[in-house]
Amino acid sequence: MKLTILGGGGFRVPLVYGALLGDHAEGRVTAVALYDHDPARLTAIARVLTEQAAGIPDAPTVTAGTDLDEALRGADFVFSAIRVGGLEGRAADERIALAEGVLGQETTGAGGVAYGLRTVPVARELALRIARAAPDAWVINFTNPAGLVTEAMVPALGGRVIGICDSPVGLGRRIARLLGADPARARVDYAGLNHLGWVRGLYVDGRNELPRLLDDPTLLESFEEGRLFGADWLRSLGAVPNEYLHYYYFNREAVRAYQEAERTRGAFLRDQQAAFYTEAARPGTSALAAWDRTRAEREATYMAENREAAGAGEREDSDLESGGYEQVALALMRAIARDERAELILNVPNRGTLPGLDDEAVVEVPCTVDSKGPRAAPVAPLPYHAAGLVASVKAVERAVLAASTSGSRRDAVAAFALHPLVDSVTVARRLLDAYTAAHPGLSHLR
């Protein structure tokens, strides 16, 4: 099996490779092709992978290059994990929104709209290239905003593109552990869009254990989302939201905390990663040790301002170890390649799963996966408050997709203005002006 990684010089590639190294079974990935437009990043990441593979006889081979068609040739799986505009672009997305008094975040609110507007045209082009060069490959999209970007790739790739995110998995695992259940045996009833979903139940042997958690304020406040949202609010919702809902339910506090932070998350990661790539290229240093240290620091500071605003304290040790991102990807590849049935929460076209959304709308829901790919499992409808948010944000995503097709500023303004976290059309217009001035990738909007 050959796996091609687009964005192969990206920081999280060693997580994926580390997971592959632990897979010794039949049908595993034996060749990894890294594609990136930046050769220096490729060299640094390839050094990390070489160190990871030391002493492992059946380690997948690694090739790295800047020729897309060559990397794609013969691929069975393609991971798309690109960042259009780099972390400098992310920092600008965040900064410009915060200066307007609205949320500046990678995937959520105005920052997410800006990132989507930049990324969709590139993702569509990549999808066409993959469809031509590797028509039989399964494409696993990690690129954020993951739901929107997956939907942008579907016209070229059909059912062969699947979006993934580690947030719902992490949430399900935390809840299962709290309830004393084995996360591998628990079925999580989760539904929504990427970074906009709710856990409504956790079933062990057919029994819903979530009410036990919601009835116990002490247990509720003993885990990350419990502390972030507070036991009382979770009991009002009767569900546990994805951590990204903190930006909606506590918007003022989150915006204020982000405005007061010394640097945005994107600026922090930009500086942190610049230091890592420099260090990893230096002869005589261990690229793997530098990567490990950098990764630990990234995990520990994830959503730090949100946690601070909520008085939620530090992250748990179990959340600092990885096992989310790469394990979902590996589980998905295994299920497809070996026809091993698995239940995974994935981003797939709705096709009747959630009422109120059309068939093409990509949603994040539990799916059954085998060699034919994922099939969304039936789920109960969302309550009005959640269905309303989901419909609003899907309308925003549709405006982003429309803007990328039409190149029209009017569609782009609509994308910002329709977002529930942007409170004025005037602000939406100013945001678009500022983003077009900052990002060369938006110059097509007229």
State the nearest-atom distance from the C-beta of 168 to ligand G6P, in Å. 9
30: its two tokens: 């034996």
Closest listed residue to residue 166, CA positions, set 347, 294, 308 = 347
Looking at the Cβ atoms of 12 and 124, the one nearer to Mn ion is: 12
Closest listed residue to residue 162, CA positions, set 210, 208, 213, 127 = 127
211: its two tokens: 């009410």
* Contact region with Mn ion (CB under 5 A), list: 66-74, 165-173, 235-243, 395-403: 165-173
174 binds ligand G6P per the rule CB under 6 A: no
Looking at the Cβ atoms of 390 and 428, the one nearer to ligand G6P is: 390
Looking at the Cβ atoms of 148 and 432, the one nearer to Mn ion is: 148
Whether residue 278 contacts residue 291, with contact meaning beta carbons closer than 8 Å, is answered with no
* Contact region with ligand G6P (CB under 6 A), list: 93-101, 161-169, 171-179, 222-230: 161-169
Whether residue 422 contacts residue 431, with contact meaning beta carbons closer than 8 Å, is answered with yes
Judged by beta carbon distances under 5 to 8 A according to partner kind, the member of Mn ion, ligand G6P, none in contact with residue 265 is: ligand G6P
CA torsion sign for 314, 315, 316, 320 is negative
State the nearest-atom distance from the C-beta of 170 to ligand G6P, in Å. 7
State the nearest-atom distance from the C-beta of 301 to Mn ion, in Å. 16
State the nearest-atom distance from the C-beta of 146 to Mn ion, in Å. 6
Q: Phi, psi (5° rounding) for residue 71?
A: -65, -35
**Residue labelled with tokens 């059954």:** 368
Whether residue 60 contacts residue 17, with contact meaning beta carbons closer than 8 Å, is answered with yes
- In the chain, the N- to C-terminal Cα span, in Å, equals 44
Looking at the Cβ atoms of 64 and 267, the one nearer to ligand G6P is: 267
State the nearest-atom distance from the C-beta of 343 to ligand G6P, in Å. 19
* Contact region with Mn ion (CB under 5 A), list: 6-14, 94-102, 159-167, 220-228: 159-167
Looking at the Cβ atoms of 323 and 356, the one nearer to ligand G6P is: 323
Long-range CB contacts for residues 203-209, cutoff 8 Å, separation at least 24: 204/176, 204/179, 209/179, 209/181
Site map for ligand G6P, 124-153, x if CB under 6 A? --------------------x---------
Looking at the Cβ atoms of 60 and 109, the one nearer to ligand G6P is: 109
Nearest-CB residue for Mn ion: 165
Interface positions, 252-291, toward ligand G6P (CB under 6 A) = 265, 269
b/e 72-85 (16+ beta carbons within 10 angstroms → b): beebbbbbbbbbbb
- How large is the greatest C-alpha to C-alpha distance in the chain, in angstroms? 60
Of positions 275, 302, 358, 437, contacts ligand G6P by CB under 6 A = 302
422 binds ligand G6P per the rule CB under 6 A: no
State the nearest-atom distance from the C-beta of 77 to ligand G6P, in Å. 19
Q: Is 31 left (phi over 0), alpha (psi -120 to 50) or beta?
A: beta
| Amino acid in the structure at residue 51 | E
Looking at the Cβ atoms of 21 and 162, the one nearer to Mn ion is: 162
Site map for ligand G6P, 88-127, x if CB under 6 A? ----------------------------------------
3-class secondary structure, 79: strand
Of positions 3, 165, 196, 431, contacts Mn ion by CB under 5 A = 165
Looking at the Cβ atoms of 76 and 364, the one nearer to Mn ion is: 364
Count interface residues toward ligand G6P (CB under 6 A).
8
Residue 6 pairs in a beta bridge with 35, 80
**Residue labelled with tokens 């304020």:** 217
CA torsion sign for 348, 353, 356, 359 is positive
Looking at the Cβ atoms of 169 and 280, the one nearer to ligand G6P is: 169
State the nearest-atom distance from the C-beta of 195 to Mn ion, in Å. 6
Whether residue 149 contacts residue 200, with contact meaning beta carbons closer than 8 Å, is answered with no
* Burial class of residue 135, CB neighbours in 10 A (0-12, 13-18, 19+): exposed
353 binds ligand G6P per the rule CB under 6 A: no
Looking at the Cβ atoms of 166 and 189, the one nearer to ligand G6P is: 166
Which residues contact ligand G6P (rule: CB under 6 A)?
A: 144, 165-167, 265, 269, 298, 302
